[in-house]
Amino acid sequence: MYRLIVIPHHLLISAWHPVDHFFQRLVRDNPDELTIAGIQGRLLDKSENLAIVLDEKDIAVGAFTYGFMNMDTGKIAMVVPVLAGDEAPIWLEDIIGEVHKIAIAEKCYEVRCLGCRRGWSRMVKRDVLKAPPGKEGYTLKFTVGDYNVR
């Protein structure tokens, strides 16, 4: 069983080292889109949050950043722009339920995971939220039940 911890902003510097290599790989694979300075900057200016995925031995096996986007209509979407780790399809099923809980707590109507592998949408639809995947290429969207507009 995998679990998720959200790192308080005042602990970002000490929490970065165990997940740095995940983000370094992501930047290396996506040099046109990402930089470490950009990822760290969004975390430090508090426009995004850092979440770390831990295995049963409390070893970091993945990490992602997330933030929130306000729509013109007043609705809020949770956005996961950066997700990296080892064997994500194995732990994603456990973690997506936690992402869903965060979205509900923040009164989001939708979660958007950017840059996802197409197979992840089948997993979310089939096993986790029973929601249809998004149609856009590599953007996974799922609706959040029981949301309320702020």
Distance between CA atoms of residues 105 and 26, nearest Å: 29
Across 2-34, b (16+ Cβ under 10 Å) vs e yields bebeebeeeeeeebbeebeebbeebbeeeeeeb
Distance between CA atoms of residues 94 and 88, nearest Å: 10
Please report whether residue 96 resides in a domain: yes
Tokens matching residue 36:
């470490």
Please report whether residue 150 resides in a domain: no
Please report whether residue 148 resides in a domain: no
Q: How many domains does the chain have?
A: 1
Please report whether residue 39 resides in a domain: yes
Within a 10 A sphere around the Cβ of 94, how many other Cβ atoms?
15
Q: Which stretches in the chain have pLDDT values below 50?
A: 118, 126-132, 134-138, 149-150
Q: What residues pair up with 70 in beta bridges, in sequence order?
A: 76
CATH number (domain holding residue 65):
3.40.630.30
Please give the residue range of the domain that contains residue 65.
3-143
Please report whether residue 20 resides in a domain: yes
Give the global pTM: 0.80
Please report whether residue 149 resides in a domain: no
Please report whether residue 95 resides in a domain: yes
Distance between CA atoms of residues 77 and 30, nearest Å: 24
